[in-house]
Structure 1
Amino acid sequence: MKYFKILILACFLGMLFSCGGDDDICESGEGTPRIRVAFRNADGKEITVDSLYVAVDYGTGAIVDLGKTANNSSRLIPLRVDDVPYTDLYFKTRIKGPQSKVRVGYTTKSAYVSPGCGIKKTYENLTSELITPNVVKKVELGLNQIENENKTNLFLLF
C-alpha cells in the first residue's frame, strides 16, 4: 500500500510539471493576419451583400474556393505567404454567375512570434487592381498595411 501511494504521488507530480506554457497554442491573434474586405455601393455607402462566393489563387495550380457567405458587410481572406508579391482574389454573387478578379499587391515582412506560432508575416504597401470587372465595378484601398484583422484594407464597389 505504501508503494501505491508513492506511485500515485509521482504520477500526480509528473502531470503537474508536464503542462506546457501558453506559447504552445497560437490563438491570441499572433498569427499571420488576413485581409479584411468590405463592400460598398456606387455612392460609397457600406452595404451588406446577400451572398458572396470567394476563391483565391495561392499559386498551387488550382484556385481554392473559400465558400459562400451570406448577409455580410465584410469578409476576412487569407493571402499568400510565399515570396510572390501579389494574391489573386475572385468574387461572384451567384454560384453560376460571372466572377470578378482582383489582384492585391504588397510587400511582406516576417517576424518570429513563438515556437507554437512560428513566423508571422505582415503585409505593407498594399495596392489593388481590378483585372476582370464583372460583379465588382471598382476597388478602393482602405488601410495601406495589414498588421491585424481589425481594420478594413480593401473596399469592393458593387
Structure 2
Amino acid sequence: MKITITGTPGTGKTTVANILSKKLNLPLFNISELVKKEKLYIEFDSERNAFVVDPEKLREFFHNKKHFIAEGLVAHYIPSDILIILRVNPKKIPERLAERNYTEEKVRENEEAEKFAVIATEAIEKSKAKRILHIDTTKRKPEDVVNLILEGIGGKEVFEEVDWLE
C-alpha cells in the first residue's frame, strides 16, 4: 500500500505518519529529509530557507516502491493509493510551530496558507491518489487521527468539511 500524507506545517503530518507507520509496519519517508539526502531538488530558496523540490525526481524515487508512507508538504506529488490531507484551525499554527525556530513571517505565511486551504486545494486538484482522506486534526489527539485514517483505509468515507473562512 502506498500512502501519502500532506498538509500545512503544524497539522500533525510527522507525528501521525510515525504512529501510522508503526501500526501498519510500512517504511516511512520524511520528504524534507529525503529531498536533501537524495538531491531531489531544483535549487535552494535562501529566502524561505528550504529546498525547491523537483516533482519529477520525487516521483521517480517512489516509482518502483510498492509499500510506503511518505509525509511532507509536497507528498501529494507522489502517486499513491491513499492521500491523507491533514488540516488544523489556523489559530493553532503559531502554537504548533513555536518550537521550530520559524521566523514570524514564516509562521504567518503558514497560518494564511492553512486559512485559505492552499495545500489542501493543490493536493485535491493535483492528486494522483486513488482515494483522498481529508481530516481536521484541531481537536484530536494524534492516535485518534490515526484511528480515523485506519477506518478510511478500511473503506470508510473520511472527507471532513473544513472551512476556516466562515
Between 1 and 2, higher relative CO (CA 8 Å, sep ≥ 6) is seen in 2
TM-score normalised per structure 2: 0.30
When Rg is computed on C-alpha atoms for both structures, the one with the higher figure is 1
